[in-house]
Copies of this chain bind each other. A is one copy, B any other.
Amino acid sequence: MRTTNVQDQVLRAALDLFSTQGYATTSVQEIVAAAGVTKGAMYHYFSSKDDLLFAIYDRLLSLQKARLDEIVARGAERGDAVEDVLRAVCEDVVATSIEFMPEGTVFTRSQHMLMPDRQAEVKRRRREYHEEFEALLRRGIDEGVFRGDVPTAMLIAHFFSDVHYLSQWYSPDGPLTAAQVAEQLTELFLRSIGRAPGED
């Protein structure tokens, strides 16, 4: 393993507290107390509170990018229909977002508290991610299986809004499993972007 115990404990505590109380409302003191380490030890590994926040973003962005890349690559390898690839992508994003809901909560709420340069990096990586997603949409549109009368930017927003909104309503203790939510949200999305029967 590459990360020491201190790093792990601190990140775990930070994630927990940030997602629960918010970034601004959580003090470094609380974090180190929850992690069971001293402030000095924490600052040995992280150069600022902002660093902790970014580390959380970084992990989430990396993870999602890797999964997207992998699913797209696998689909290409197998020659899957674009609709099937997109469905796999969407279901995976939703399921992963549920699995990493605390990260997602922090992501949505606290992006504006990152240092400007880091905020820019997050935006850049998010844009890259969206572009890969858009490529699938565009291919579907070209192939005539997705509707072409709505800007792709809006279609992208339409899907990712669901992903970001999960933490506002979904609870793992509720009646729906993550898989069900993933399947149903994906189905709603796909139905809304499908070529309508009479469409040209």
Show the binding face of A for B, using Cβ within 8 Å. 21-25, 108-109, 112-113, 150-151, 153-158, 160-162, 164-166, 168-170, 175-176, 181, 184-185, 187-189, 191-193, 196-197
Contact = CB atoms under 8 A, between A and B. Distances in A.
Q: Which 8 A-B pairs have the closest CB atoms?
A: A24-B24, A161-B165, A192-B192, A161-B161, A188-B192, A157-B169, A161-B162, A191-B192
7 contacts: A24-B24, A108-B109, A109-B109, A151-B176, A155-B188, A164-B168, A192-B192
Given A161-B164, A164-B161, A165-B165, A188 B193 contact: yes
Contact of A112 (B22, B155, B160, B165): B22
Nearest to A130: B169
A100 to B, nearest CB: 17
A1 to B, nearest CB: 24
A140 to B, nearest CB: 15
B157 A165 contact: yes
A156 B169 CA distance: 10
Given A22-B24, A24-B24, A24-B25, A153 B165 contact: no
A191 B185 contact: no
A50 to B, nearest CB: 12
Given A165-B164, A185-B154, A197 B196 contact: no
Given A191-B191, A191-B192, A113 B157 contact: no
Nearest to A188: B192
A150 B165 CA distance: 17
Contacts of A23: 24
Given A109-B112, A112-B22, A188-B193, A162 B151 contact: no
Contacts of A197: 197
